[in-house]
């Protein structure tokens, strides 16, 4: 155990979990488009005009939706200060469907370049960030307030042919006379909750690349230190652990809500209707967190190393790690005993520990589907364990290595593999889920992102993917341990 524990700490490995459905759906992938999902605009500081750039003169449309339509843009500009220009975007919904049905509309500025009159690049400048006129070319999400949203109500959709506006500022350094910015616009919609697609889109969502100086705030201001486990609670709140402690990611804000010895990036999270739970492998305990203060209360494990089943307050655990919720129960694996165990809530509100499966090899991530089928990874592939069986089936034998798992509502299993710098998707080949599942790359090209990745997920570099969760809008969030940020993977926007 000591050797493996040392490897675990050195490798900075982390996992999260999930599961499988009997008749998986086969979502229709978005229509492939020939134009880029990034819309480029050129600001001419001499005339004050903003011109859209595209495959042909006047191209303004971002055609990234399944219907084959997109957004139309018009842009007005005004110089606020010397070299700083405010751009007001008016965006018309030309998708033929309601946008922003189940969440905010967001914009990402993914490119910036200042140019002189001859078109040569001029260093410096960029999108002005929220803390003042400090330009930076890396700029994550800007939340756009839905113009039809009324205070105290849920966001209302942007209907077809209607428009909304948002503004941003850019700084153009001397002697540049032009600036080109690239914009990706994203809007939630009812059916757009299946990010597992060949042209899924990868973008940093929280934090800044390799900046681990602690800071709370909005997505672009937040700074994490080796982010680890992620989980989404039934109310839609996303929680994260890192070396600072426990974070709450909600309404485009990242807030550190608890610190202490029990909290670290090796503290694995799971959430159900009863609340937020956390394993702590170094303390051999499982905790339930207070819904207000997030103070941990031990519900399983005495702190001693062991694998004895029984009531939570007398059961012993051996390095509990990945954990996943199934109803009011929790499944977790142990690095010390190789077991997958179950934590069940009793009628008195206490918890009972039982052994679900005693593996003969080290298990990695675990996942569970709505029918109670367990999935787990080993160095030798992906396994499925039927709820009525104690004999697991190897559904894919391709090497997984150090990996975490996430059940996806489309009937697939997602695996983040630390050593591969990739996220894979496993899809059943038939309605018989005991047969082989195919593996495809969802994100990562095998190389480490440097400095940071944007773009088509399957061809973008990815830095040591760690914990995963599906956010309230159907996006897959992936923690990057070494890059100190959270990536978001969604359908092509």
Asked if residue 433 has pLDDT above 60, the reply is yes
CB contact at 8 A, 211 and 223 = yes
Alpha-carbon gap, residue 277 to 227, rounded angstroms: 17
Instruction: List all residues 6 or more positions away from 485 whose beta carbon is below 8 Å from its beta carbon.
Output: 204, 205, 206, 207, 208, 209, 224, 227, 452
Of 31-40, 149-158, 353-362, highest mean pLDDT: 353-362
Across the range 275-295, mean pLDDT stands at 96
CB contact at 8 A, 467 and 230 = yes
Which pLDDT does position 5 carry in this prediction? 34
Q: Token pair of 10, please?
A: 């050195």
Of 72-76, 284-288, 367-371, 401-405, highest mean pLDDT: 284-288
Which pLDDT does position 167 carry in this prediction? 77
Asked if residue 276 has pLDDT above 50, the reply is yes
Q: Is 374 exposed, middle or buried (0-12, 13-18, 19+ CB in 10 A)?
A: buried
Asked if residue 405 has pLDDT above 70, the reply is yes
Span 457-490, pLDDT tens digits: 888 888 899 899 988 767 889 999 889 999 988 7
Which pLDDT does position 290 carry in this prediction? 97
Short-list 472, 401, 406, 483, CA closest to 196: 406
Alpha-carbon gap, residue 146 to 104, rounded angstroms: 6
Alpha-carbon gap, residue 52 to 233, rounded angstroms: 41
Which pLDDT does position 465 carry in this prediction? 92
Across the range 406-423, mean pLDDT stands at 90
Q: How confident is the model at residue 279 (pLDDT cuts 50, 70, 90)?
A: very high
Between 361 and 148, the higher pLDDT residue = 361
CB contact at 8 A, 316 and 307 = yes
**Where do we find the tokens 């773009």?**
455
Alpha-carbon separation of residue 258 from 14, 290, 379 (angstroms): 20, 11, 34
Alpha-carbon gap, residue 406 to 377, rounded angstroms: 11
Asked if residue 345 has pLDDT above 80, the reply is yes
Percent of the chain with pLDDT over 70: 74
Alpha-carbon gap, residue 62 to 54, rounded angstroms: 10
Q: Choose the weakest-confidence range: 51-60, 264-273, 357-366.
A: 51-60
Strands (E) located in 45-116: 49-53, 70-81, 84-94, 105-115
Span 127-141, pLDDT tens digits: 765 444 344 433 333
DSSP 98-137: -BSSSS-EEEEEEEEEEE-TTS-EE---EEE-TTSS-EES
Alpha-carbon gap, residue 126 to 382, rounded angstroms: 45
Where are the domains positioned within the chain? 2-27+194-490, 39-187
Report the 10 Å Cβ neighbour count for 489: 27
Phi, psi of 278 (to 5 degrees): -150, 135
Q: Choose the weakest-confidence range: 138-147, 236-245, 275-284, 460-469.
A: 138-147
CB contact at 8 A, 99 and 93 = yes
**Where do we find the tokens 């113009």?**
147
Asked if residue 142 has pLDDT above 50, the reply is no
Q: Token pair of 116, please?
A: 């002189």
Which pLDDT does position 125 carry in this prediction? 80
Across the range 348-369, mean pLDDT stands at 94
Q: Choose the weakest-confidence range: 47-56, 328-337, 347-356, 425-434.
A: 47-56
Asked if residue 244 has pLDDT above 50, the reply is yes
Asked if residue 449 has pLDDT above 90, the reply is no
CB contact at 8 A, 407 and 447 = no
Q: How confident is the model at residue 348 (pLDDT cuts 50, 70, 90)?
A: very high
Alpha-carbon gap, residue 341 to 171, rounded angstroms: 56
Instruction: List all residues 6 or more positions away from 205 whose beta carbon is below 8 Å from its beta carbon.
Output: 140, 141, 219, 475, 477, 485, 486, 487, 488
Alpha-carbon gap, residue 31 to 259, rounded angstroms: 46
Q: Token pair of 377, please?
A: 């990874």
Which pLDDT does position 157 carry in this prediction? 65
Mean pLDDT of the chain: 78
pTM of this prediction? 0.67
Alpha-carbon separation of residue 324 from 192, 320, 370 (angstroms): 25, 12, 12
Name the CATH superfamily, with its identifier, for domain 2-27+194-490.
Answer: TolB, C-terminal domain (2.120.10.30)
Between 2 and 257, the higher pLDDT residue = 257
Alpha-carbon gap, residue 259 to 295, rounded angstroms: 9
Between 123 and 17, the higher pLDDT residue = 123
Which pLDDT does position 153 carry in this prediction? 44
Short-list 487, 492, 478, 491, CA closest to 15: 478
Between 96 and 306, the higher pLDDT residue = 306
What is the β-pairing status of strands 245-250 and 238-242? antiparallel
**CATH, range 39-187:** 2.60.40
446 in the Ramachandran plot: left (φ > 0), alpha (ψ -120 to 50) or beta? left
Which pLDDT does position 42 carry in this prediction? 87
> Please, what's the largest Cα pairwise distance for the chain?
76
DSSP 288-352: EE-TTT--EEEEE--SSB----EETTT--BSSEEEEEEETTEEEEEETTT-EEEEEEE-TTS-EE
DSSP 213: S
């Amino acid at each position: 155990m000591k050797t493996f524990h040392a490897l675990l700490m050195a490798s900075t490995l982390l996992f999260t979990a999930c599961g499988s459905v009997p008749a998986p759906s086969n979502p229709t992938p978005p229509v492939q488009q020939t134009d880029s999902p990034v819309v480029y605009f050129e600001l001419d500081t001499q005339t004050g005009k903003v011109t859209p750039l595209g495959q042909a003169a006047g191209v303004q449309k971002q055609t990234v939706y399944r219907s084959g339509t997109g957004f139309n843009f018009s842009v007005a500009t005004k110089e606020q200060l010397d070299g700083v220009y405010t751009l007001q975007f008016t965006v018309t919904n030309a998708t033929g469907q309601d946008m922003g049905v189940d969440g905010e509309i967001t914009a990402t500025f993914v490119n910036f370049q200042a140019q002189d009159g001859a078109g040569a690049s001029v260093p410096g400048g960029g999108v002005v960030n929220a803390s003042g006129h400090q330009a930076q070319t890396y700029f994550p999400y800007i939340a756009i307030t839905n113009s039809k949203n009324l205070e105290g109500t849920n966001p209302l959709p942007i209907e077809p042919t209607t428009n909304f506006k948002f503004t941003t500022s850019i700084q153009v350094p001397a002697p540049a006379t032009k600036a080109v910015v690239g914009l990706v616009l994203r809007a939630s919609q009812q059916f757009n909750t299946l990010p597992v697609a060949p042209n899924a889109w990868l973008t940093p969502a929280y934090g800044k690349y390799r900046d681990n100086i602690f800071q709370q705030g909005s997505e672009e201001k937040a700074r994490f230190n080796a982010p680890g486990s992620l989980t989404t609670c039934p109310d839609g709140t996303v929680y994260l652990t890192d070396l600072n402690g426990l974070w709450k990611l909600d309404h485009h804000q990242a807030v550190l809500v608890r610190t202490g010895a029990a909290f670290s990036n090796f503290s694995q999270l799971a959430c159900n209707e009863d609340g937020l739970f956390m394993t702590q492998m170094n303390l051999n305990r499982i905790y339930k967190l207070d819904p207000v203060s997030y103070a941990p209360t031990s519900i399983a494990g005495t702190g001693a190393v062991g694998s004895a089943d029984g009531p939570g307050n007398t059961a012993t655990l051996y390095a509990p790690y990945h954990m996943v919720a199934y109803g009011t129960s929790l499944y977790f694996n142990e690095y010390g005993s190789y077991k997958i165990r179950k934590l069940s809530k009793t009628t008195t509100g206490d918890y009972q520990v039982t052994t679900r499966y005693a593996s003969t090899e080290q298990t990695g991530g675990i996942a569970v589907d709505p029918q109670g089928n367990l999935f787990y990874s080993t160095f030798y592939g992906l396994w499925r364990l039927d709820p009525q069986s104690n004999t697991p089936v190897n559904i894919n034998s391709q090497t997984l290595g150090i990996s975490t798992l996430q059940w996806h509502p489309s009937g697939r299993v997602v695996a983040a593999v630390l050593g591969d710098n990739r996220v894979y998707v496993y899809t059943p080949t038939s309605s018989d889920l005991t047969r082989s599942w195919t593996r495809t790359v969802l994100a990562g090209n095998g190389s480490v992102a440097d400095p940071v990745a944007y773009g088509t997920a399957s061809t973008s570099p990815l830095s040591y993917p760690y914990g995963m969760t599906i956010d309230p809008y159907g996006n897959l969030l992936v923690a990057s341990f070494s890059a100190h940020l959270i990536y978001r993977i969604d359908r092509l926007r």
